[in-house]
């Protein structure tokens, strides 16, 4: 079959997105998904997303990493599929959709997508890092001279090391710029490389920086290689709630390809 696809990017985190409401795309063909995500032999993307019907919300988001495997929540992907749903006329300025970690609310304001993330009830604190799940697992640690930091090699070592092993984790390296502003570089599992931006990653960083007392602000700006993202949240007795990932999402092009 010939598949119509759309390429979206959110602060440089790019995705192939397709409308699968008619269930014509074989979701079990992980090899083909990986081929399409390949940057030399395919379309090229950090992930592959299908928009499907859902009985309880506006639509369902099915997300695959670039390795072709269905994966956990992707924050930037969630912002991009919201923009795609608006493009298709499924929603206008507000949406609610189902992802692998549950329901998400989203709002579009002047081309900026506000995506509500799940509450976070636990952050594990260790000597040199913090660990938390913001829809995907994230290791967060401070680094100096982040611009020249060896993210891929250091990230891979942590991603596959103890205690993460086979399941693995995403790895975020952070450098403080101001009280409420941080530079972030992320190694993503499934992509197995550094990406220009990671939505669940910057969410994890913002909460970890607040949890450790490095910032007292409940609105934090994260500077990624692909651009700026903002996280707002409220601290409660048992973790964090009302967490919003805020940033742009853009349709880059439309195409057709043999599935």
- Tens digit of each residue's pLDDT (9 = 90 or more) over 195-248: 999 999 999 999 999 999 999 999 999 999 999 999 999 999 999 999 999 999
**Residue ranges of the chain with per-residue pLDDT less than 70:** none
Query: Which of 33, 45, 74, 204 does the annotation list as catalytic?
Result: 74
HEC letters along 104-158: EEEEEECCEEEEECCCECCEEECCCCEEEECCCEEEEEECCCHHHCCHHHHHHHH
In the chain the domains, ranked by start, together with CATH numbers, are 2-115+249-258 (3.10.310.10), 123-247 (3.10.310.10)
Cα–Cα dist 86/94, whole Å: 9
List the catalytic residue out of 198, 204, 208, 243: 198
Predicted confidence (pLDDT) per residue in 60-80, tens digit:
999 999 999 999 999 999 999
Residue 250 host element (H or E):
strand 250-258
Confirm whether 74 is a catalytic residue: yes
Q: Please tell me the predicted confidence (pLDDT) of residue 64.
A: 97
Concerning whether 198 is annotated as a catalytic residue, the answer is: yes
Provide the pLDDT for residue 151: 98
Q: What sign does the dihedral 10-139-191-173 (CA atoms) show?
A: positive
């Amino acid at each position: 079959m010939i598949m119509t696809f759309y390429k979206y990017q959110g602060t440089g985190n790019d995705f192939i997105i397709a409308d699968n409401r008619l269930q014509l795309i074989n979701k079990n063909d992980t090899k083909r998904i990986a081929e399409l995500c390949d940057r030399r032999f395919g379309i090229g993307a950090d992930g592959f997303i299908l928009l499907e019907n859902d009985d309880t919300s506006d639509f369902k988001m099915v997300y695959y990493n670039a390795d072709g495997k269905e994966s956990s929540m992707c924050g930037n992907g969630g912002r991009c599929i919201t923009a795609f749903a608006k493009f298709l006329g499924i929603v206008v300025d507000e949406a609610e959709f189902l992802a692998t970690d549950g329901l998400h609310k989203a709002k579009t304001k002047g081309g900026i997508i506000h995506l509500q993330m799940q509450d976070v009830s636990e952050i594990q604190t260790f000597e040199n890092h913090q660990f938390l799940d913001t829809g995907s697992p994230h290791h967060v640690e401070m680094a100096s001279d982040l611009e020249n930091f060896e993210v891929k090699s250091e990230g891979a070592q942590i991603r596959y090391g103890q205690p993460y092993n086979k399941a693995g984790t995403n790895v975020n390296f952070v450098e403080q710029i101001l009280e409420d502003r941080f530079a972030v570089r992320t190694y993503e599992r499934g992509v197995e490389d550094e990406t220009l931006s990671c939505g669940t990653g910057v969410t994890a960083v913002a909460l970890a920086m607040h949890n450790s007392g490095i910032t007292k602000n409940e609105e934090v700006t994260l500077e990624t290689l692909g651009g700026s993202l903002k996280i707002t949240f409220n601290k409660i007795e048992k973790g964090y709630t009302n967490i919003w990932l805020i940033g742009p999402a853009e349709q880059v092009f439309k195409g057709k390809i043999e599935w």
